A and B are shown apart, each in its own frame.
Chain A
Amino acid sequence: MECSAHNISGDQNAGINRVAGGAIPGAVLGAAAGLAIAGATANPVVLGLGAGVAGGAALGVAWMQVYDWFTRLKEVYPDPITIVGTPHCAGKNHFGIQPFTDGDWTTNIGKPPLKLVFPTDLPLSPGVTDPMDEIRTRAAWDSNLPKAALSFQDSACSPTNPAACVTPILHCEISSHIGSASVVGGAIGTTAGVIGGCIAAAIICAALGAFTFGIGALLCLLIAAIVVAALAVAGYFIGAFVGSVVGAIQDAVSDFDKQGQFLESHQQCVYKVSGRWVTDTSHGHNEIHDITSIVLVDCGVGSAAAALTLTAAVGTGRHPSGVDP
């Protein structure tokens, strides 16, 4: 079971689709640039066209990913919010490269009691009576979403299987450096790969110039596109991996894995979680990202009523006896 959110509606792959959308405008711009550069450097037009289309598409995707990564989280509310609830899972996304993983620390906070405790005067949208529903569904004004998708813990929950969506949660994350470093490294690697590919393609096409003009031009076009695309992809993976390693080093030297506190998901522990309320436009749901503070209320909490009264007692400085927070 992964510690990710499963949405009852919306597009879980919106981010990937946006990033892929950078390919076509990138290819068009790349073709124009390739033709211009080929003309200026007295290289074959087909070289510029092939390399430009392939390289432009690769650069469009890679840099679109950078843009999308750093703008995907849209703030719903200017101040931090505080919710209280029980983690239904807790984990760390694997080490790896974007778009496959980001190394973030994640938890899904759900019942009991799953309540908003700050701010207490949050205005509610028409038809909403539970402030937590407002937290889960109000889309950030610049997200271009009419509503955020409700998210659930249940792994079978999806827009095509809404009946499986029974355990409401709010996804919460602590950012790792891996994701950001990976997308930046990938874009730099892609750029280097495109440049290297263009040089390699020019050398190959120069060699192909000895052949019959028509066949040589066609081969040049295809080889330029293939070589540039191949080196761009290789550059992306190498750059993203190097970036991820840099991110892992940043994580290691920052305060992760130092003396902190465990957040438990299988001990019936209740926590207050504060942080930035955002709409994650990559998945279309709301979450807390980044978490700014976590307060353990108590563990071994058996019932919803106990979760409320323990939260109240600890929150007013009247810790009862029990598991030592």
Chain B
Amino acid sequence: MADSAGIPTSVAQRPGCLGLILRILAVMVGRRPPDWGCIYVPARLTDRPDPCIYDQFMLMALGLPVTWANPDVAILLNGVPQNTYDLVASTTYDVIVTVHNSSRTRPAPGTRVQIWWMEFGAGGTVKHALGTTFVDVPTWPGVATAQFPWTTPATPGHYCLEIELFHPDDADPSNNRGQNNTQVYAAHSRVESPIRVFNTFADDPPVQPGTLSPKRPPVPVHGDDVEITVDSYVFADAIGKDANPDTMFAPRDAAWPARVEPASFTFQPGERYRDVLLIVDAPDGPGPAETFNVSVRQGGAPTGGVTVTIERR
């Protein structure tokens, strides 16, 4: 909180000598039951900026559905939105990242926005830096946009994007990482979309048995078990009075018969990735498109995903 001059009230309201003595007495003899229903938390813990982005990993940690068509990321070619899967080699695109600030009292000046491209798939770990910039994010509901010109590699390929925010005084580190992985298919009666699932934790050091004291439990390592889900959740982006969290994050089953084969498996030692197949039985004939979010967990941890749009023409 700040006064009219913009000075934090915690600084502006320093006590005089009498006030300080009363404050000391309050700490020492103030009547405070052990559970008095609330505690007064200092501003240094509560009054901080919170730059944020649509973070699929936080949302999956909450057990909520996600889309990998990140609403805060846009890839434009001459102003026309593009899908990450279909980008053309040696072509310059504009990547636009919208950065929010969840704090209503503190702006987030100098928020660092870093962006990488990765091979298309879920759970990729080999990142190629695309750019870094800094933006001044106003308090909620203001937003800032970061723009990155990106010339795709000369070698044809399929890509996905990852964005990460950083602010030294960030109140919440859980909402700073978002991905954008989208793909579009024209519908046939049966659509089969190969998706590469990377072994995110392939480089984890193994536990060395016998090096730990019997009293000291081994440090857990990430599991190799992979679980893949598919749904047709759509994020209805809204803010303020237009936002209804219950509908924004309401799960939605796959719109058409859809499955991933295999839907679960275990990475073998040394295995870097495995290709799975999204199979959708699309209705025949023209009609509205549907999206299918393929989300991956490895060892229980969310590692990535892909959103596939199937168009009926």
Contact = CB atoms under 8 A, between A and B. Distances in A.
Interface of A: 1-4, 80, 82, 84, 89-95, 103, 105-107, 113, 115-118, 120-126, 128-129, 131, 134, 138-139, 141-142, 144-147, 174, 178, 245, 248-249, 251-266, 272, 274, 291-296, 305-306, 308-321, 324-325
B45 A174 contact: yes
Contacts of A89: 34-35
B27 A252 contact: yes
A108 to B, nearest CB: 9
Nearest to A245: B28
Contacts of A252: 20, 23-24, 26-27
What is the size category of the interface that chain B forms with chain A?
Answer: 35 or more
Given A257-B23, A315-B102, A82 B37 contact: no
B52 interface: yes
A127 B244 CA distance: 37
Pick from B43, B201, B243 the residue with the most CB of A within 10 Å.
Answer: B243
Contacts of B216: 141-142, 144
B101 interface: yes
A117 B174 contact: yes
A257 B40 contact: yes
Contacts of B33: 91
B173 to A, nearest CB: 5
A260 B63 contact: no
B222 interface: yes
Interface of B: 1, 8-10, 13, 20, 23-24, 26-30, 32-48, 50, 52-55, 57-64, 100-102, 104, 140-141, 143, 171-175, 200-201, 204, 212, 215-217, 219-223, 237-241, 243-246, 248-249, 299-303
Pick from A115, A116, A248, A309 the residue with the most CB of B within 10 Å.
Answer: A309
Given A293-B172, A315-B172, 20 more contacts: A93-B34, A94-B34, A116-B61, A117-B62, A118-B58, A121-B57, A123-B221, A141-B216, A178-B27, A248-B27, A259-B9, A291-B45, A294-B45, A306-B246, A308-B63, A311-B62, A312-B249, A315-B102, A318-B245, A321-B243
Contacts of B40: 256-257, 260-263
Nearest to B26: A257
B20 A253 contact: yes
Do most interface residues of chain B lie in helix, strand or loop, or is the interface mixed?
Answer: loop
Pick from B41, B201, B204, B237 the residue with the most CB of A within 10 Å.
Answer: B41
Contacts of B244: 320
Given A311-B62, A315-B175, A320-B240, A121 B301 contact: yes
Given A90-B38, A319-B239, A138 B45 contact: no
B217 A91 contact: no
Nearest to A314: B102
A1 B34 contact: yes
A39 B240 CA distance: 82
Contacts of A125: 217, 220
Contact of A313 (B8, B46, B215, B249): B249
A261 B41 contact: yes
A261 B172 contact: no
Contacts of B101: 317
A263 B39 contact: yes
A131 B300 contact: yes
A296 B48 CA distance: 11
13 contacts: A82-B174, A84-B62, A91-B36, A120-B61, A120-B301, A138-B217, A144-B216, A260-B10, A291-B41, A292-B45, A295-B102, A313-B248, A315-B52
A116 B62 CA distance: 8
A293 B48 contact: yes
A305 B215 contact: no
Nearest to B99: A317
B41 A260 contact: yes
B143 A317 contact: yes
